[in-house]
């Protein structure tokens, strides 16, 4: 099926939250306005923020797939969110859209010590990965000053300006990512 076939003419306001609730396990879709507002922006106080209709707290790759597909079908904007420590508004909601919160996908799935390869979910916190591999005698180099909170997903999307702010000892995350 061609990608454009997923886009319907249904107005986005017609129940994307209900569509997502029907397709996802209970509790994943949050529409409480205060919680949604709290998860709708990063640390860039100057950046514009839209009103999201829902936050989805995904727990698996299948759930991420479900959310992406539903938003595509309904023509609803979707913004991924890690820890929300970004300084450029990248995780800020788009009006009428959905926030896909990935901090609950926080497992280190595999570390191949020989190949120096870690397979992680996107919500793994930078310092947690560093501690995990340190226990094996290895070092995970990329380390923004937000490493106690920021996630692998967010780290992999850092802007060049943000990377320039990193300490000289750290490397840009993308130079350490094989596949994302
Ligand atoms: C105190 C402090 C210190 C900081 N120090 C540094 C520093 O030294 N160097 C530096 O570069 N930055 C720094 N930052 C900025 C910020 O921490 C980094 O950009 C960090 O990588 C963001 O990670 P996050 O998990 O908070 O991502 P978020 O802010 O949640 O998201 C960042 C971007 O990534 C996207 N995103 C998040 N997860 C995914 C995913 N799984 N898939 C696709 N896209 C995704 C979001 O849509 C957004 O565009 C700092 C911020 C603070 C508050």
The number of residues making up the chain comes to 180
Q: What is the DSSP letter of 128?
A: H
What is the side-by-side strand order in the sheet with 98-101? 29-30, 54-57, 98-101, 78-81
d(CA 26, CA 8): 25
Ligand 1: centre distance to CA 166 (Å): 12
- Does the beta carbon of 102 lie inside 6 Å of ligand 1? yes
Does the CB atom of residue 97 touch ligand 1 within 6 A?
no
Q: Which atom of ligand 1 is nearest to the CA of 81?
A: 30
End-to-end CA distance of the chain: 24
pLDDT at 147: 96
Atom of ligand 1 nearest to the CA of 79: 47
pLDDT for 180 beyond 90: no
Ligand 1 geometric centre to CA of 152 (Å): 9
pTM to 2 decimal places:
0.88
Residue 2 has pLDDT above 70, yes or no: no
* Any ligand 1 atom below 6 A from CB of 146: yes
Q: What is the pLDDT of residues 126-143, one digit of tens each?
A: 999 999 999 999 999 988
Give the pLDDT score at 175. 63
Domain extents in the chain = 3-101, 108-176
Q: Choose among 133, 135, 130, 177: nearest CA to 153.
A: 177
166 lines ligand 1 (CB under 6 A): yes
**Topology of the domain comprising 3-101:** 3.30.43
Dist CA 22 CA 54 (whole Å): 14
Closest C-alpha to ligand 1, atom 27:
154
Range of 14-23, 61-70, 161-170 with top mean pLDDT: 61-70
């Amino acid at each position: 099926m061609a990608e454009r076939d997923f886009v319907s003419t249904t107005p986005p306001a017609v129940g994307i939250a209900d569509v997502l609730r029907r397709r996802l396990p209970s509790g994943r879709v949050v529409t409480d306005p205060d919680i949604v507002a709290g998860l709708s922006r990063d640390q860039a106080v100057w950046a514009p923020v839209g009103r999201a209709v829902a936050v989805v707290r995904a727990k698996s790759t299948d759930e991420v797939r479900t959310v992406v597909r539903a938003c595509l079908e309904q023509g609803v904007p979707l913004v991924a969110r890690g820890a929300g420590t970004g300084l450029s508004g990248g995780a800020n909601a788009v009006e009428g859209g959905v926030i896909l919160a990935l901090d609950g996908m926080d497992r280190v799935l595999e570390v191949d010590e020989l190949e120096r390869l870690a397979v992680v979910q996107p919500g793994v916190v930078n310092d947690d990965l560093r501690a995990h591999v340190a226990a094996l005698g290895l070092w995970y180099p990329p380390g923004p000053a937000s490493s106690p909170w920021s996630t692998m997903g967010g780290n992999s999307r850092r802007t060049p300006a943000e990377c320039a702010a990193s300490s000289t000892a750290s490397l840009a995350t993308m130079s350490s990512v094989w596949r994302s």
